[in-house]
Structures are given as structure tokens and as C-alpha cells.
Structure 1
Amino acid sequence: MFESEFLVSVPINSPFKMAANTKHDGIHIRIMTEKDYEEIKELIFEDYFTGVPLCLPKSKFTTETKELLDGVHRHMVAQDTCLVAIDEVNNGRLVAFALAGAQFPEDLEKQRNELDRIQPELAVLLRFLHGLECQAGIFKRYGVTKLIYSCFTYVNPEMRGRRLGVRLAEAVMELGRSKGFPLMTACCVSFYSARQKEALGMECILSQSYADYKDDQGQEIFTPPAPHKEVRILAIRLINKEE
């Protein structure tokens, strides 16, 4: 998920019409534009990442790391695979978003090499997650050559409790089907995000307890607060045959 070059080969002009349930209670879900991304890019580091279990405080991100992640996010946006939720009742305010992008079998090796460019404090986490994704063997397990990867979802704290995260996840699935992706996957480090996606039918194909992941001295490497006890790799079939 942190290799910028692999997010380029999916056609972005595939026809896609959002379902009726993406416009409800004054909230309209639509595909993210470059202008939308400019509005949220700083929010990603200032709010989203700081609230994710295992992640770094915003003051700890180096300029190089932020630039690298920003490049990855922009490639996903360019594919028309990212979504925003707009509050039409309050002057079209952007209140939630989901970043997602294409992934192919060869990308795992590309991502491993890219980790050398990430600052050490964050690379420890990303190598842990990358190792789990390799262990899961998703492409071989499901017999696919491409998938849509749900990178992360953010909902403004003022708008939480209105199922926006659920609606965004459902919309990403719908979008993935429309673009011919046979599978959607996610790597959930949060108890809440995993629970939400499992409720939508995603299958947990691999999990790793944080308490059981230790360094050479037997010390736990990650100690997130309760109820975040494990990371889960999740997947769901979107279509039975690749197009």
C-alpha cells in the first residue's frame, strides 16, 4: 500500500453510477476529485493517522515520509477509486472519505523495496503489516490477478454514529464491482474497523495478536490500548469472474 508506482494500470473511465443509498439524510457519497484531496491531505496526518492504533503522532512524521505517502494517496485518487461524503445540508462540507486503490501480485515486492524509504519508526509497523499480507497469500487463495484494496476510511468526529463509515465501505464495494475487481481486501489494525467490515460480509483470512508479536528480547513491540488486540486481514468477493 505504500508503493506509488503500482497504482496506475486500472482504467479510470469505467462507467459507475452510485446507488440510491449513497444519497441519504443530506449526505451525498461520490468519487473523490483532486480538489477534494487537496482539502483533506493535511487532515490525514493531523487527525486520521494520530487516531489509528500503532501509528505515530503527527509531529513524528518526516517530510520524506509524508511526501511518499502523499504520492501514494494521489495515485489512488487518480484511479477514481476513492470516495468522499458531502453534507449537502451544510454548504457541501466534506465530512468523511475513503481511500482505496488497485493492487496486483507483483506489488508486494515493490512495496517491500519501498519500505527502505520510510523512516525507521514507521517502517517497523509497515514491515509487520506487509509480512502479514504476504503470509495471507490473497491472490493465490482467491485465484485473482487484481483486487481493490481499502486503504482507510475517515469520518469527522462530529458525524460519527450516522453509519457513514459503513456507507463508504459499501460504496467502495459497489465501485470495485463496477470496475471489474473480483475482490476487495483490507488490513485492519483497529478493532472497530475490523468489526465494521466483518459485519458487511468480509472474511478474516489471517489475524495476528499484538501481544504475541515480540522482539528478540521477548518484549511486545506494539501495545495499543484496548480493545485493539490484533490486526486482521479481511477479504470479500465482489464478482465471481474477472473481467
Structure 2
Amino acid sequence: MRTIATLALATAIGLTFGGAAKAESRDFALNNFDRIDIATGLDTVVTIGDNFAVRAESGSADALNNLELAVADGVLTARLDQDFLDFIISGGLVGMLLNNGNAVTINIALPAISGISASSGADVRGTGLESDQLDLEASSGADIKLTGAAFGALRAGASSGANIDLSGTCNTIGAEASSGSGIDAGDLVCATATAGASSGADIAVHATQSVKAEASSGGDIDVEGNPAQTDFDSSSGGDISLDD
């Protein structure tokens, strides 16, 4: 009986949400920002361009109607309306997973960027980003992945199961990770690096000149690049390794 009921539920979900959802897009006239703050499971692609451009795409018009975008104090924030999220969740996690039509992707172009924040399962990706100074913050299961980047000073912070993945070059990086999160900057070649990992977090950095690393409470730090100057401090089950 349980198998029959499960099949019936899956069939009902398929009838309700089945079929390929027609992609819809919406442009937002937003400008004068150099930082972005993304949350509530939104997927975001960031590019550097001559002009500001913000476009959202989804297989669900309802999702786009409940997308909240705003600019204040130089920060573009993007979230789904909480009531809409509660409505989706009330249908059950199985239905939410099967119904990919509610997924929203936001494409953001801006002339310069100085900060990216991602939280609550958001996913932010960028290729070829350049910035003299960039601040990254990922929390609550969010992901940030930047490839082919070129930074001057970079600060990366991850917590609560979030992940940051970086490749490219930088002058200096400061990385802090906690509570089961991870920062993989092993493919981001930097001159100097500082790193702190705690509470089961993992960090990989690549430094060619100097590195200062502190690992505690099961945190793990992997240092690549064979820097000439090293300053390591590990405690309470923390581990720091130096690769050639």
C-alpha cells in the first residue's frame, strides 16, 4: 500500500508540474552598485561589462513575480519573497526537488565589483572577474565559484557548510572558514596569504612568498606554492600541511 501511495503521489506531482517549462525572462533597470548580496537558493552569473544589466530567467512566471531585487547603498540584493518560499516548502521537499521550474537564474553585468555575498543555498558564479579589492562571504550552504579571476587584495569568508572555489591570480588573500565550510583557493596563485580554519572547515591556499595559517578544532589548511616564509599555528586537532 505504501508503494502504491508513493507512486500515486509521484504521478500527481508529475501531472501538476510535468512537461518542459517555458523559460521566461525579465529585465530590471538597476544600476549604481558594485556589490551583490544573493540569497534563498537563487543562481547568479556575474560578469564585468561596460554597462549595468540585470536579467532574471525562470521556467515559472510566479517565481519571477516573487523575485525581490533592490539597490541600496551600492549593494544589489536579490531574494525570493518569503511567503512564496513558504508556499513552495508547504508542498513538500519531494515536490520542490521535482519541480525545477521554480529555479531562478539571475545574470548580472556591472562595470566594477568589490563584494559578493551568498547565503541560504544561493549559488554565485563568475568568470574573468577583475578587482583591486574584493570581499567574498558565503554562509548557510551557499556556493561561490570564480574562475580565471585577477584580484589585488581578496578577503574570503565561509561558514555553516558554505563553499568558495577560486582560480586565477591575486596579490594577497585572507581566508577564514568555520563550521564545516570550505574555501578552495589552491588554484588562485597569490603572493601572500593568511588563513584560519576552525570547527571542521577546510582551506586550500596558494602562496609564492609568505603565508600565515592557524587551524583549530578539526580545521584543515593546505598550503601550496612552497612560500619562503611560513608561520603556522595548529591546536585542538587542527592540521596544516605544506605542499611542494
Q: Considering fraction of residues, name the structure with more helix.
A: 1
* Structure with more relative contact order (C-alpha pairs < 8 Å, separation 6 or more): 1
Q: Greater CA radius of gyration, 1 or 2? A: 2
- TM normalised by structure 2 equals 0.24
Report the structure, 1 or 2, having the larger strand content.
Answer: 2
